[in-house]
């Protein structure tokens, strides 16, 4: 990861280098020292400080974030507009700017991302090009959230593990990716098996990696037989594992075993994960 000098970060934030050095020396920003005694700050630590301190980022291009600067030049455009236009730079910049302003992954997923993708998913009803636009927007959004993930502080190597994905026949990439990012932001190590994951693959992953939490994102209607087999599989998992399901079609499972928690938002998913992190 890129190392910044105190001058680099001070210029990006629009503050004096002496102020930046005082923040480092006060422990507000973690830094290492060169052999010559110069302070060096990892880019990830700089981004953490910006988020948690609500310090404005005056020159984002100095931190290799030109997308944020590009979005500012366009004024008050919504995420929906960038996705509708297939503007990958704009979508990345919009989400990165909100993240640096302090929005959590769960808040972004439940709010602007959910709203934009829902609206785009309705275009096909009155526009022959709606399916194309939605598919392109999904790809743009996936790239943007992947960029966000690269900005996140990784969980500790010893943190509890969560794993999950979408069931067989469910092709939706974005919900399970956002679930993994929400769990990682909460403090869990998150292993995303992706969409269309056969039950046998999930079972193998659980046996091999022994997670503390298993999630499943269900966005496509399930046949009754598949819904029953999923509930039976959940019930057979070790009692030490927390089980969470969500998604537009999660209700297809009907009445759930008592140990299975259904959530309706990413914020709720994070709330389920938080006690697991605390107990670790």
pLDDT number for residue 97: 94
The sign of the dihedral angle between the CA atoms of 249, 254, 258, 264 is: positive
- In tens, the pLDDT along 15-26 reads 999 999 999 999
Of 10-24, 69-83, 181-195, 225-239, give the lowest mean pLDDT range: 69-83
Q: Is the pLDDT of residue 77 over 90?
A: no
What percentage of the chain reaches a pLDDT higher than 90?
A: 85
pLDDT number for residue 127: 86
Q: Which helix (H) or strand (E) holds 146?
A: helix 130-151
Taking the chain, what is the end-to-end CA distance rounded to the nearest angstrom?
Answer: 28
CA distance linking residue 186 with residue 213, whole number of Å: 13
pLDDT number for residue 75: 64
Query: Which CATH number does 3-53 carry?
Result: 1.10.1660.10
Fold of the CATH domain 161-279? Rossmann fold (3.40.50)
Give me 4's structure tokens. Answer: 């910044």
With a CB cutoff of 8 Å and minimum separation 6, the contacts of 225 are none
Compute CA distances 27 → 5, 39, 181, 216, whole Å. Answer: 16, 12, 28, 40
Using CA atoms of 212, 196, 252, 263 in order, give the dihedral in degrees to the nearest 10: 40
How many CB atoms lie under 10 A from the CB of residue 29? 23
With a CB cutoff of 8 Å and minimum separation 6, the contacts of 191 are 161, 162, 163, 164, 180, 205, 209, 211
Q: Is the pLDDT of residue 73 over 80?
A: no
Q: Is the pLDDT of residue 221 over 90?
A: yes
149, 144, 154, 177: which is closest to 67 by C-alpha?
144
- In tens, the pLDDT along 110-140 reads 999 999 999 999 999 988 899 999 999 999 9
pLDDT band at residue 76, thresholds of 50, 70 and 90? low
Q: Is the pLDDT of residue 1 over 80?
A: no
């Amino acid at each position: 990861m890129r190392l910044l000098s105190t001058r680099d970060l001070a210029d990006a934030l629009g503050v004096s280098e002496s102020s930046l050095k005082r923040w480092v020396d006060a422990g507000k920003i973690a830094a290492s020292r060169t052999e010559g005694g110069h302070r060096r700050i990892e880019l990830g630590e700089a981004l953490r400080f910006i988020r948690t301190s609500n310090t404005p980022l005056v020159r984002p291009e100095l931190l290799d974030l030109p997308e944020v600067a590009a979005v500012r030049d366009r004024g008050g455009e919504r995420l929906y507009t960038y996705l509708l236009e297939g503007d990958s730079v704009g979508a990345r910049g919009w989400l990165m700017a909100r993240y640096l302003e302090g929005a959590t992954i769960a808040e972004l997923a439940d709010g602007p991302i959910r709203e934009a993708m829902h609206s785009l998913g309705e275009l096909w009803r009155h526009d022959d090009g709606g399916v194309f636009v939605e598919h392109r927007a999904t790809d743009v959004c996936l790239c943007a959230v992947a960029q966000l993930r690269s900005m996140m502080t990784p969980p500790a190597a010893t943190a509890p593990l969560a794993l999950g994905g979408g069931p067989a026949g469910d092709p939706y990439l974005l919900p399970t990716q956002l679930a993994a990012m929400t769990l990682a932001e909460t403090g869990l190590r998150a292993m995303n098996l992706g969409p269309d994951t056969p039950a046998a693959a999930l079972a193998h992953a659980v046996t091999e990696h022994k997670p503390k939490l298993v999630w499943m994102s269900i966005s496509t209607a399930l046949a009754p037989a598949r819904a029953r087999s999923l509930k039976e599989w959940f019930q057979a998992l070790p009692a030490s594992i927390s089980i969470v399901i969500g998604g537009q079609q999660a209700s297809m499972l009907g009445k759930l075993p008592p140990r299975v928690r259904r959530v309706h938002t990413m914020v709720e998913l994070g709330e389920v994960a938080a006690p697991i992190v605390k107990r670790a």
